[in-house]
Amino acid sequence: MPEQKHIVVIGAGIVGVSTAIWLRRAGCEVTLIDRSEPGLGASFGNAGVLAACSVVPVTTPGLMFKGPKLLLDPDFPLFLRWSHLPKLAPWLLRYLSHANDKDTRKISDNLTHIVSDSIEQHKSLTDSGPAARFMTTSDYSFAYADRAAFAEDSYAWMLRKEAGFEPEIIEGDAVREKEPIFGPTVGLLAVMHDHGYITNPGGYIAVLAQTLEDMGGKLVKAEVTDFDMAGGDISAVLTDAGRFDCDKAVLCTGVWSKELAAKLGLNVPLESERGYHIVFENPSVSPSSPVMVSAGKFVATPMEMGLRCAGVVEFGGLEAPPSKAPLKLLRKKVKETFPDLTYSGEEEWLGHRPAPSDSLPLIGEIGKTGVFSAFGHHHIGLTGGPKTGRLIAGLINGERPNLDLSAYDPNRFH
């Protein structure tokens, strides 16, 4: 029998937990380290959608010219803490440089490989175990005011169609027949079938982490500070709770991966895209399945804890507290969309989406260090986390993936 590998996985979000489970299934000794409890970062506060059709990056053609106008529009869910602009500017220029047809198509094609089989990958990850109860197959709808508003998104729908995703269109009175929760501001639904969602993302990750422990994996609460690279490749992960010897390591701490990656020679143009959600507890009405509301750029998902409305984009770094304006606008858009909604209470949340300048995650070995990257998933972390973890586990165990991973190579930022 070959000697058992010991792998340290850093970060207990959906990507880290998925990676750890797939490594443990392959027979590796696995230690999963996080400074918090599993699933408390971006994996906790997302919209919960297994969005297989999320193949369109934000940087579509024309954003370079539309962006400043949208930023100044008080009714559009894009915000900037102006004090953060000097630090943001280098990343922003690189980000906007991809807002052209050639780059957008390349990004879309590579996102498709990570997200298009999300349902199957989550089913394989849970393997009908305890975490499977959180997963629901469903439609995923996009709500528009009318046919003209839908047509404004024609470029995005063209990319989705090329990736194999084409919606059923529902208009007029049929919209409220399907989803009575909508008010008169919604006149068209573009319904994507064969999607799904997680009814409690934080609970899902926690149960997956418990599944890892039940399989013999170790879960450690500690903050990683450095790597021992004395021999040229990794021999240990160093933390505030001590040293953890290992043969390989996997870095999947989302936007917080940038600092640790720098210790390995990567200068990753990675920015926090601050995202907000409000959970409306004990809602009087809910959609039957997740819906993206185009006018407000938020997703409304029926969850165990209530109706979660998640969205809004704010650039303001990792340290600043939540802003009032994004939450105020989110409430306004929810009220416009669901005018009859009443509820018993609210829960607000702010989290940090890891946004690489080219909108593609970093998946692969960093140089010849023995440290593998699995972060930078921007809006597709929950959707693409299980596939990413499976790919990383395969790479560590010497398997050749049936997918060209060059577009995700972390060494593009050396």
Q: What is the pLDDT of residue 52?
A: 98
Which pLDDT value is given to residue 2?
55
Among 20, 391, 9, CA closest to 213: 20
Query: What averages of pLDDT result for each successive group of 10 residues across the chain (414 residues)?
Result: 83 98 97 94 93 97 85 87 95 96 98 98 97 98 98 98 98 96 97 98 98 98 97 94 97 97 97 96 97 96 98 93 95 97 97 97 97 97 98 96 96 95
Please tell me the predicted confidence (pLDDT) of residue 67. Answer: 79
Taking the model in full, what pTM does it have? 0.96
Tell me the domains of the chain and their CATH numbers.
6-45+203-268+359-413 (3.50.50.60), 61-100+135-193+270-356 (3.30.9.10)
> pLDDT value at position 1?
43
Instruction: Give the model's pLDDT for residue 143.
Output: 98
If DSSP states are collapsed to H, E and C, what string results for 67-100?
HHHHHCCCCCCEEECHHHHHHHHHHHHHHHCCCC
